[in-house]
């Protein structure tokens, strides 16, 4: 079934049907209508599947999707237009530009933790780039969301394919035949990538088993604890850019725990299990995996669980050794370890000696500390004095670096990722004298002319530069005319007085 979906998308691409901008805009608007019309059903399905609050789904997934589509519709003509580049003396009369064109069939493998955002956001960019997408929901996702996804997308989008996949072998086969795969956050990515032989023309990937680092140097503000607690425990901790652990000085560790305790009481009440705003673990296997990470530790906060509901209370663990299992494996659940460091230098060393994280969060009012953390560490993205909010800006690229991911998406960055940037030079048949020195027979004089021509600095002949040049010329001409008039009038006055 999956192969048929990919084949149908490839046939659409070969017909050229997905290339016209009008078709792309029509598809994007159909997708937007679908999200608007089905918001209530989508939120209800996710409430049934993972007990997510009906108010969280629009906030965490749907509003961002609508913004992404609106941006693509309004900017598509600009993104897809030829992009003029600088010219040399040898090409001064020629057309030189970069033309974005569709790469080919795009394979999008969704992720279960934010299924609509992580499946449809790249879908928006794929449609905008003119690449027929094949979108697959993960097998982990439950019945209700999959039904809405498959029915609505198949009805609304023409020339695309949808399905459901969970087998690593099958996923590898799909990646081999797709031109540009985009796996979502998944613990099984390494296997399908090896199976696919990495024979892809492009790849966007965010790995969830790398570390997402967080450094805290002061916990005195209520705003700090609210933002941190929300970012860690929203969606029951199943967020690929949630803080995986806290680095803080030992002197403030107890204040950190107390601040989180107060905030959890404010957010979810005395019993998070009965709160309509607190979610559940996706399935029993992940419930068992997360609970196993707590073996050997005493929770400083939380720790309660109920296997029958896949419920794990918001949990904080203090004084976790850096080499503990809890620090080596992706948590992807409501467990928050705290690792103590002696100072900023120790925190930077801790971060730098490990794999580059997908996200880094720095909480500090000290500008020097912030500057050092930005300059001396690296990560896929970074947010200062908040968590996860860099993901909400479609003007910023989202992606990892090194082991935490490959490629980037959001807004124009998705369009560019799914486009081949074709180098175009359209030569004029005139001005052949400029080209004569490159033809045989060669001599010292010709070689000198060619060297001079090729070493000429590149000149920007883009539309903006042209407009500024014309404007400057008009202003200069106007000033010259004004000066001449003033001189004539001055000469006339002098003659009259004489």
Would you give per-residue pLDDT tens digits along the chain (498 residues)?
A: 567 777 777 888 888 888 999 999 999 999 999 899 889 989 988 888 888 998 999 999 999 999 999 999 999 999 999 999 998 878 888 999 999 999 888 888 878 889 889 888 999 999 999 988 776 665 555 666 777 766 666 554 554 555 545 444 454 444 444 455 454 443 333 333 334 443 334 455 555 444 455 655 555 568 889 999 999 999 999 999 999 999 998 988 999 999 999 999 999 999 999 999 999 999 999 999 999 999 999 999 999 999 999 999 999 999 999 989 888 888 999 999 999 999 999 999 999 998 899 999 999 888 999 999 999 999 999 999 999 999 999 999 999 998 888 889 999 999 999 999 999 999 988 888 888 888 999 999 988 888 887 777 777 766 666 676 678 888 888 888 988 988 888 777 555 554
Which CATH number does the domain housing residue 271 bear? 3.40.309.10
- The reply to whether 462 falls in a domain is no
Same-domain check for residues 231 and 163:
no
Same-domain check for residues 388 and 262:
yes
- The reply to whether 69 falls in a domain is yes
Answer yes or no: 424 catalytic.
no
Answer yes or no: 376 catalytic.
no
Q: Which domain holds residue 176?
A: 2-204+410-421
Same-domain check for residues 143 and 8:
yes
Count structural domains, the chain: 2
Which CATH number does the domain housing residue 79 bear? 3.40.605.10
- Which position among 2, 205, 207, 249 bears the catalytic label? 205
Same-domain check for residues 313 and 282:
yes
Same-domain check for residues 157 and 63:
yes
Same-domain check for residues 220 and 190:
no
Same-domain check for residues 357 and 248:
yes
- Which position among 185, 200, 240, 248 bears the catalytic label? 240
Closest CA to 333 of 224, 270, 244: 244
Is-above-0.75 flag for pTM? yes
Same-domain check for residues 121 and 226:
no
Same-domain check for residues 121 and 257:
no
- The reply to whether 452 falls in a domain is no
Same-domain check for residues 280 and 371:
yes
């Amino acid at each position: 079934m999956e192969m048929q979906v990919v084949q149908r998308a490839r046939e659409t691409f070969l017909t050229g049907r997905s290339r016209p901008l009008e078709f792309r805009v029509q598809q994007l608007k159909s997708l937007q209508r679908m999200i608007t019309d089905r918001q209530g059903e989508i939120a209800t399905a996710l409430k049934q599947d993972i007990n997510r609050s009906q108010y969280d789904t629009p906030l965490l997934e749907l509003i961002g999707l609508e913004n992404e589509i609106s941006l693509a519709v309004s900017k598509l003509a600009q993104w897809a237009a030829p992009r003029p580049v600088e010219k040399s003396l040898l090409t001064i009369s020629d057309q030189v530009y970069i033309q974005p064109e569709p790469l080919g069939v795009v394979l999008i493998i969704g992720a279960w933790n934010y299924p609509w955002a992580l499946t449809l956001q790249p879908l928006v960019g794929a449609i905008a780039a003119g690449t027929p997408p094949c979108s697959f929901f993960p097998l982990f996702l439950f019945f209700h969301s999959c039904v809405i996804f498959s029915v609505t997308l198949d009805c609304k989008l023409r020339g695309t394919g949808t399905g459901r996949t969970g087998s690593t072998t099958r996923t590898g086969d799909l990646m081999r035949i797709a031109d540009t795969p985009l796996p979502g956050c998944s613990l099984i990515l390494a296997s399908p990538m090896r199976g696919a032989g990495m024979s892809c023309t492009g790849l966007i990937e965010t790995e969830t088993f790398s570390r997402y680092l967080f450094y805290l140097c002061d916990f005195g503000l209520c705003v700090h604890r609210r933002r941190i607690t929300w970012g860690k425990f929203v969606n029951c901790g199943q967020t690929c850019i949630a803080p995986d652990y806290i680095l803080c000085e030992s002197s403030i560790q107890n204040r950190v725990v107390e601040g989180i305790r107060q905030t959890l009481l404010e957010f979810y009440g005395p019993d998070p299990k009965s709160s309509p705003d607190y979610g559940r673990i996706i399935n029993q296997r992940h419930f068992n995996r997360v609970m196993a990470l707590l073996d050997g530790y005493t929770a400083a906060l939380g720790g309660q669980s109920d296997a029958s509901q896949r419920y794990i209370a918001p949990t904080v663990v203090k004084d976790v050794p850096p080499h503990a299992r809890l620090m080596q494996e992706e948590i992807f659940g409501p467990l928050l370890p705290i690792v103590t460091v002696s100072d900023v230098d120790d925190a930077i060393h801790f971060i730098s000696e490990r794999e580059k994280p997908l996200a880094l969060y720095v909480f500090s009012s000290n500008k020097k500390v912030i500057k050092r953390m930005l300059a001396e560490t690296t990560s896929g993205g970074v947010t200062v004095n908040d968590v996860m909010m860099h993901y909400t800006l479609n003007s910023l690229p989202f992606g990892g670096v090194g082991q935490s991911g490959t490629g980037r998406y959001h807004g124009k960055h998705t369009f560019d990722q799914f486009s081949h940037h074709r180098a175009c030079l359209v030569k004029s048949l005139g001005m052949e004298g400029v080209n004569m020195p490159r033809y045989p027979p060669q001599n010292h004089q010709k070689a000198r002319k060619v060297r001079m021509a090729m070493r000429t600095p590149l000149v920007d002949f883009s539309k903006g530069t042209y407009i500024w040049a014309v404007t400057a010329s008009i202003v200069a001409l106007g000033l010259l005319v004004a000066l001449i008039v003033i001189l004539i009038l001055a000469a006339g006055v002098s003659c009259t007085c004489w």
